[in-house]
Amino acid sequence: MQKILYRDNPYIILWYNVNLQAFRTDAWKGYTRMPAADGAPFWNYMRTTYIDLRPVEAGAEKSGGTSARVWAVAVAIVLATVVVLVRRRPRAFEDA
């Protein structure tokens, strides 16, 4: 019965699920694909990608890119400016 069902295949497949994922191999290493040849590293019922995923070492950073330290300093400056502007009271309030 299973051979007949498989041979006659009563299903009409209208579309195939395209598994489109983007991931950064320049910043992270340890992606495990399933199936190994052309599979997806995430949401593939395997936990190895989540366990083995590690950032690429600082020495392997590409030249010309913005480092994390520069971004951290820029964010700190912006946050400090916002805090100073928010805490500053209007002049009319101080004179009253």
pLDDT at 23: 81
Q: Which long-range contacts (CB under 8 A, 24 or more apart) does 42-51 make?
A: 43/19
Does the structure show a pLDDT above 60 at 94? no
Regarding pTM above 0.75, the answer is no
pLDDT in tens, 38-82: 778 877 777 887 888 889 987 655 555 567 888 888 899 999 988
Q: Which residues contact 43 (CB under 8 A, 6 or more apart)?
A: 19, 21
User: How does pLDDT run across 28-44, given as a tens digit for each residue?
Assistant: 888 888 777 777 887 77
Q: What are the angstrom distances between the C-alpha of 49 and each of 6, 20, 89?
A: 34, 16, 51
Contact 47, 75 (CB under 8 A): no
